[in-house]
């Protein structure tokens, strides 16, 4: 059933309203990746007296390095790790638009809901971002002990966080906050599994650029399916 939610989300890519949100989301995602990577290179340069040679990148020496092809390939590789916090930021900025587009097509019989307040969405986004960064820092420490199992740990931990946040924000569009959290607790196994399904492709360079949009749509379908079943 969780795969069914994802396939329904995938089937809406051609929807003009859905596609608009996807284009905006992709633009934001690419901008954030470039900004983080540029900051990474500039920080290296600022901390060294001279240009420094790095594996794969070569010599780090300002903007020309940032624009180099080898550097671009490394940024694609780093997106494997950066896309989880990017997905967290996306949830606060665009989830409302994705959910509205999904409901307009698949659940048009439901009454419209007022748009979430910007302040509340920002607080939720910052909370998730802090949790994601802290948990992934712990995961990097555990890398020395988990070895080849690190990727599975990455998926499980981030699947829990992403599932928790995306489902809660979708549910709070139609339920009071406490009722949304109670629904999340009742359905934690299904929500966690959906989060892992979202976290796995986040670790695939290039393909991960589409995941925040498809994830938001998938969780919208998951919420309505659970609500219809009285769960």
Average pLDDT estimate for 93-104 = 87
- Of 70, 69, 67, 83, nearest to 30 by C-alpha is 83
The most confident of 8-12, 155-159, 223-227, by mean pLDDT = 223-227
Residue 87's pLDDT is what? 73
% of residues, the chain, pLDDT over 70:
71
User: Cβ of 185: how many Cβ atoms within 10 Å?
Assistant: 9
**Residue 133 pLDDT greater than 80, yes or no:** no
**Residue 109 pLDDT greater than 80, yes or no:** yes
Q: Tell me the sheet residues that pair with 53.
A: 59
Residue 119's pLDDT is what? 64
95-99, 131-135, 157-161: range with lowest mean pLDDT? 131-135
Domains of the chain, residue spans: 2-14+80-228
Residue 185's pLDDT is what? 95
**Residue 38 pLDDT greater than 70, yes or no:** yes
**Residue 172 pLDDT greater than 80, yes or no:** yes
Q: How far apart are CA 192 and CA 127, in angstroms?
A: 18
Residue 47's pLDDT is what? 59
Q: How confident is the model at residue 223 (pLDDT cuts 50, 70, 90)?
A: very high
Q: CB neighbours of 103 closer than 8 A, spacing ≥ 6?
A: 110, 220, 224
Q: Are the CB atoms for 196 and 219 separated by under 8 Å?
A: no
Q: Across all residues in the chain, what is the average pLDDT?
A: 78
Residue 191's pLDDT is what? 96
Q: Which two tokens stand for residue 74?
A: 């490394």
**Residue 128 pLDDT greater than 80, yes or no:** no
The most confident of 156-160, 166-170, 189-193, by mean pLDDT = 189-193
């Amino acid at each position: 059933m969780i795969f069914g939610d994802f396939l329904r989300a995938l089937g809406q890519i051609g929807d003009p309203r859905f596609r608009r949100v996807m284009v905006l989301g992709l633009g934001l995602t690419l901008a954030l990746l470039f900004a983080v990577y540029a900051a990474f290179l500039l920080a290296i340069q600022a901390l060294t007296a001279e240009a420094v040679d790095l594996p794969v990148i070569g010599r780090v020496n300002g903007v020309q390095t940032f624009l180099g092809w080898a550097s671009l390939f490394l940024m694609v590789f780093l997106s494997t790790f950066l896309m989880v916090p990017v997905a967290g930021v996306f949830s606060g900025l665009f989830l409302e638009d994705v959910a509205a587009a999904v409901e307009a097509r698949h659940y048009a019989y439901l009454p419209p809901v007022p748009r979430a307040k910007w302040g509340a969405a920002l607080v939720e986004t910052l909370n998730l971002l802090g949790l994601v960064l802290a948990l992934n820092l712990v995961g990097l420490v555990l890398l020395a002990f988990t070895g080849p199992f690190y990727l599975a740990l990455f998926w499980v931990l981030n699947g829990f966080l992403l599932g928790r946040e995306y489902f809660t924000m979708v549910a709070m569009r139609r339920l009071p906050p406490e009722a949304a959290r109670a629904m999340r607790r009742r359905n934690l196994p299904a929500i966690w599994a959906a989060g892992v399904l979202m976290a796995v492709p986040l670790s695939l360079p290039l393909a991960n650029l589409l995941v925040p949009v498809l994830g938001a749509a998938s969780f919208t379908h998951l919420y309505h399916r659970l609500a219809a079943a009285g769960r």
